[in-house]
Amino acid sequence: MGCIAYAVHNSLLDQLTDMLRSARFQGFLRLYLQVTSDSFKFIRLDPEYDGLELGATVEIYREPLHQLLYGIARRKFAPDLSYNIVGIAVRLYDLIGISLEIPDVMLKHYWAEIDIHSRGASTARGITVKEARRRAYRSIERLNQPDLIYRT
C-alpha cells in the first residue's frame, strides 16, 4: 500500500517510498527538481488526484516528510505558478541529508526544472484513481488537525 515514486537515486527513492507508505499515502506523485552541474534540489512535490494538483513548496525544516504531507497543510501562494496551490510544506532535510535552498525567484531561466518521470503509481491490486483519492482524503480526515485544509 502506498505510493511508489521514481526519483534519481535509488537510496532516495527507498527512503521516500518508506515515508509515504508510513503516512499511508495513496495516489499519484510528481517531483520537480532543480538540477545543477553537480547536484539537485527539490522544488515542489505534487500529489495528483484525477486532475487535481496539490502543490507543495519546499522549505527547510527538520521534520520527516510524512508528518508534513498530512500533518500541516496550510494555504500558500507561490510566485510564477499558473494555479493556486494548497501548500503542503515538505521538509526534506532529514530525508536526504542536504541543505535545501529556494531561489530568490522560483524557476529562474538558468535552473532546469526537470520532470524526471517521477510519477507514483498506486500499488493495490487494480486500485482506481478515485479509490486512491478516497483513501488519501480519509487519511487526512483522521488526523484531526485544526489547521488542516483539504478538498473533497
What does the pLDDT profile of the chain (152 residues) look like in tens digits?
Answer: 233 223 334 555 566 666 666 666 555 555 555 555 555 555 555 554 333 333 333 332 233 444 444 333 332 222 222 222 222 223 333 344 333 343 444 333 222 232 222 223 333 445 555 666 666 666 655 555 555 454 44
Phi, psi dihedrals of residue 24, rounded to the nearest 5°: 60, 40
Instruction: Tell me what pLDDT residue 50 has.
Output: 33
Count structural domains, the chain.
1
In a domain, 87, yes or no: yes
Tell me the H-state helices in 23-92: 65-71
In a domain, 129, yes or no: yes
Give the integer Cα–Cα distance in Å for 25 and 109. Answer: 33
Instruction: Tell me what pLDDT residue 38 has.
Output: 52
Cell numbers at 28, concatenated: 499519484
Instruction: Tell me what pLDDT residue 2 has.
Output: 31
Q: Quote the pTM value.
A: 0.24
In a domain, 151, yes or no: no
Q: Which residues pair with 58 in a beta bridge?
A: 90
Q: Which residues contact 11 (CB under 8 A, 6 or more apart)?
A: none
Cell numbers at 8, concatenated: 534519481
In a domain, 149, yes or no: no
In a domain, 12, yes or no: yes
Cell numbers at 7, concatenated: 526519483
In a domain, 44, yes or no: yes
Give the integer Cα–Cα distance in Å for 87 and 97. Answer: 22
* Domain encompassing residue 133: 3-143
Instruction: Tell me what pLDDT residue 59 has.
Output: 34
In a domain, 150, yes or no: no
Q: How many CB atoms lie within 10 A of CB 112?
A: 11
